[in-house]
Structure 1
Amino acid sequence: METICVDDVVIAHVNGTTRSLTPAEIMATLMADHGMTRRTARACLTRCVENNHLAYRQQLGRTVVVPSLNRYHSLVPGVVLAPPHLPSSTDGSCCITMKEGISFGNGTHPTTRLCAEFMTTAHNNGSRWNRALDLGTGTGVLSLLTIKLGCSHVDATEIDPIAMHDARENAVLNGYSHCLHVHHADGFSSVHNYDVVTANLRYPTLISLEDSIHRWTAPTGDLVLSGIKSGEEGRVIEAYASHFDIKAQKTRQGWVGLHMKKSSL
């Protein structure tokens, strides 16, 4: 396998996991799956870090490898993520400023990209949202994108206090603290209906939340789901079938995203 292809595999492997990987775990994968020596595997990982695709970080007393945010990242065509110290993109792209925190949700995971693709496609096809709900917001990527797409009020829920802190900081960095409201997921309830609901959560949680999501979604409102591994989507679609019509389904790196519309009946 050519060097650049191996580097792409490593980058995709780190971007596609929901847990933090140590250098030893990544090198073990390279040796087992690609027949590398330990020295070659270490050189490959070092190259990815030196080229600013990945970064080392101390997390809970150990060194882990994470996607580097010290560069522009394309979220979807026309939307980029950037750290605070970089200027806004000069190519006309919409720029979302993201601090490099330690919590999950920096926008590079396939599930985040799937949700973002559905949202931008719906917007480009004429959908307009005034009020949105983002369940499991992480660091707030999808909430911020919803505001960039014209939403004036977003309620976001999260169970991780570190992610909640990062999401609020990112709202401030983008000048959206007045319209992005972050709530702890435990005990969250709302009397409002939302024009769009996004939920990037694992499938058992999505299934358990169906009744609440049905109540929170406005008639004919949009629902965007991900966090579903290939093979699990049938159970999610079945759980939502009585209240939502499926509009689109996509798979990326073994993860499935769904765009649904609340039935008008």
Structure 2
Amino acid sequence: MENTIYIEYSFTVLPLQPATDILIAELGEVGFESFVENETGVQAYIQKEEFEEGMMGSIDILKNTDFTISFEKKEIEQENWNATWEANFNPILVGEECSVRAPFHEKPQVTYDIVIEPKMSFGTGHHETTHMMLQMIIDHDFEGKSVLDMGSGTGVLAILAAMKGAANVEAIDIDNWCYHNAVENVERNKVQISVFEGDVSLLNSDKMYDVVLANINRNILINDIPAYAKCLKPNGILFVSGFYEDDIFAISEICNSCGLKFEKNISRNNWVAVKYVF
């Protein structure tokens, strides 16, 4: 892939929530592709060729007086973003069995050693939601299972599922860069995963899964969970994250309407990952 120029918006948000989640959702609707949350807000990225002056005028939360949101804008090349990531990325350990590291890190003594080079994609295990989803996968039997990873980002969740013995794993992400990055990471980890570029419209009843993984924001989950449910086999399992403990009721409500029942959840710094079963 040729080097792409991105527009980076660095947002400072007060208070952080729920404003940050709303901001990310609204930016995603106008074409922003990647987001990196931090202690003061979020950095958002869009390809320069996709950017239009005046986009910020359609982001309603910026006009909401309940929040104070400021931002700075600059151009950034992928290679510069990647260099920043490499300088700040430390390997992580999920439980005692799984590590997520970069190619330049020393190989640890763990059962599941995942090597990720995320570039502009989401999913290194550092964010609470990814970390919890990895923990959910570690705690579940994937041997011989068919698995769908929606909003796959780097592909890290699909990769762990494959490492745990899943027989048929597919990963889908709407972002072109995430698609290419997931393909690279799948090859890097020597696992069998089919990666597709697209969204929930790719799903149909001809393909059924034992497990669906979805680490996506609350609004997308509420909209797309019915489509996930239609693709789950009897006794199938849905693992979801990307939202806060306060949102469990709303997520459970839509799951219940689709025949999915709450089984368990884990939480980390107010973020939550939940397991639902048919």
After superposition, the C-alpha distances for 1:60-107 in whole angstroms (9 at most, x for unaligned) are 429887586754311343100121233432x23320111141222222
Q: Using the TM superposition, give the Cα deviation of residue 171 of structure 1 relative to its aligned residue in structure 2, in angstroms.
A: 0.4
2:203 is aligned, of 186, 189, 194, to 189
Counterpart CA distance in 1 for 2:87 and 2:269 is 19
Distance in 1 between residues matched to 2:218 and 2:145, nearest whole Å: 27
Corresponding residue number in structure 2 for 1:209: 224
Please give the residue correspondences for 1:32-181 in structure 2 after superposition, counting only pairs within 5 Å: 60-61=75-76, 70-89=89-108, 91-123=109-141, 128-176=143-191, 178-181=192-195
The offset of 1:180, in angstroms, is 3.2
Query: Comparing 139-148 with 74-83, which one deviates more in the overlay?
Result: 74-83
Question: Is the strand fraction higher in 1 or 2?
Answer: 2
CA distance in 2, matches of 1:207, 1:188: 17
Q: Structure 2: which 5+ residue stretches go unaligned?
A: 1-15, 25-34, 42-73
Identity of paired residues, percent? 22
- Seen in structure 2, the aligned counterparts of structure 1 residues 184 and 118 have a Cα distance that, compared at 3 Å, is same
Paired position in structure 1 for 2:12: none
Q: Across the two proteins, how many residue pairs are aligned to each other?
A: 211
Question: Residue 136 of structure 1: CA displacement?
Answer: 0.5
1:254 corresponds to: 270
1:152–1:179 Cα contact (<8 Å) kept: no
Deviation of 1:164 after TM superposition, in Å, equals 1.1
**Contact residue 179 and residue 195 of structure 2 kept, 8 A:** no
70-79 or 251-260, larger mean C-alpha shift: 70-79
Considering only aligned residues, what root-mean-square deviation do their CA atoms show, in Å? 3.0
Q: CA deviation at 1:230?
A: 2.7
Cα gap change, 1:69 to 1:81, in 2 (>3 Å)? farther
Contact 1:224 1:260 in 2 (8 A): yes
CA–CA distance in 1 between the matches of 2:101 and 2:274?
A: 26
In structure 2, the residue corresponding to 1:20 is in which secondary structure?
strand
Alpha-carbon distance in 2 for matches of 1:193, 1:21: 33
Inter-CA distance 22–237: structure 2 relative to 1 (3 Å threshold): closer
Inter-partner Cα distance in structure 2 for 1:129 and 1:207: 29
Separation in 2, partners of 1:168, 1:244: 31
TM-score under structure 1 length normalisation? 0.70
Contact 1:229 1:255 in 2 (8 A): yes
Aligned equivalent of 1:20, options 11, 21, 36: 36
Shift of the 137–21 alpha-carbon distance from structure 1 to 2, 3 Å rule, reads closer
TM-score, structure 2 normalization = 0.67
Structure 1: which amino acid aligns with 2:166?
A: C
